[in-house]
């Protein structure tokens, strides 16, 4: 059963070593993420699953100890998912899960088992919800760390340029996250999300499925669009 969730953005710029001189610009977001992870720890889950955007047409699981890297961003920084396990060499963590692993490492060591799930934009809302329900059934007390960004089309200088639909889409997502409204998250249109370059749609809809039947309250800790990309930090508990 899902007992808590933290929703965080996943730009590599969240990692100060990647952001370099621009690191102070996202310090408020980092602080909010740390607070959100504190809510997860307080829930004392028996299993923590990190859910983030992936590239494949099928969901990809990553075991505890799986490794990721920010070397592709010019930084010699490696991370691992949860505790250091003797994990067979597998595919590296996608960037979203690597940011999640970095956030967990920054929060401090935990004895809670940790796993990763990457979901791509090709997955339908129904498929994402089904994955979420499966995760919630994995243990008596399940927590999710959900990584994903809103639209990358919020301003003229945004990665996807300006799209007038971006701000209303992000506003609807923000309201759903703040109200722990799984139905509203499940209703986000995958096609529109793809056009608006929203990396969080599929992970958020996994959360919606996991939260079915759970009595959770939502709180938004941070909401902004630096660099023209919608970033949200929220908790469900």
**Fold that domain 2-236 belongs to in CATH:** Protocatechuate 4,5-dioxygenase; Chain B (3.40.830)
pLDDT tens, 39-55? 999 999 999 999 999 99
Question: Phi/psi at 221 (nearest 5 deg)?
Answer: -95, -20
pLDDT value for 57: 87
Least confident of 16-25, 27-36, 50-59, 223-232: 16-25
Q: What is the pTM of this model?
A: 0.96
Residue 194: DSSP 8-state = H
Identify whether the C-beta of residue 25 lies closer than 8 Å to the C-beta of residue 68.
Answer: no
pLDDT tens, 126-169? 999 999 999 999 999 999 999 999 999 999 999 999 999 999 99
- Domain spans, the chain: 2-236
CA distance 214 to 5: 11
Average pLDDT in the chain: 95
CA distance 150 to 187: 15
CA dihedral 25, 181, 194, 165 (to 10 degrees): -70
pLDDT value for 7: 98
Distances (CA, A) of 66 to 9, 61, 125, 171, 227: 20, 10, 27, 34, 30
């Amino acid at each position: 059963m899902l007992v808590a969730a933290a929703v965080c953005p996943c730009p590599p710029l969240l990692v100060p070593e990647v952001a370099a001189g621009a690191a102070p610009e996202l310090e408020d977001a980092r602080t909010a993420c740390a607070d959100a992870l504190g809510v997860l720890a307080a829930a004392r889950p028996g299993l923590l699953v990190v859910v983030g955007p992936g590239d494949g047409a099928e969901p990809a699981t990553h075991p505890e100890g799986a490794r990721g890297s920010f070397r592709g961003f010019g930084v010699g920084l490696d991370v691992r998912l949860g505790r250091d396990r003797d994990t067979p060499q597998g595919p590296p963590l996608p960037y979203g899960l690597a940011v999640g692993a970095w956030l967990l490492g920054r929060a401090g060591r935990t004895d809670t088992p940790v796993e990763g799930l990457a979901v791509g934009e090709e997955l339908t809302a129904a498929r994402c919800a089904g994955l979420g329900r499966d995760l919630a059934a994995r243990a008596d007390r399940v927590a999710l760390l959900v990584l994903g960004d809103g639209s990358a089309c919020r301003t003229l200088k945004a990665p996807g340029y300006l799209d007038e639909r971006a701000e209303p889409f992000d506003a609807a997502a923000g309201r759903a996250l703040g109200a722990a409204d799984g139905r509203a998250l499940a209703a986000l249109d995958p096609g529109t999300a793809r056009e608006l370059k929203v990396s969080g749609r599929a992970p958020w809809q996994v959360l919606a499925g996991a939260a079915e039947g759970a009595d959770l309250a939502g709180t938004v800790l941070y909401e902004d669009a630096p660099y023209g990309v919608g970033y949200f930090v929220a908790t469900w508990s």
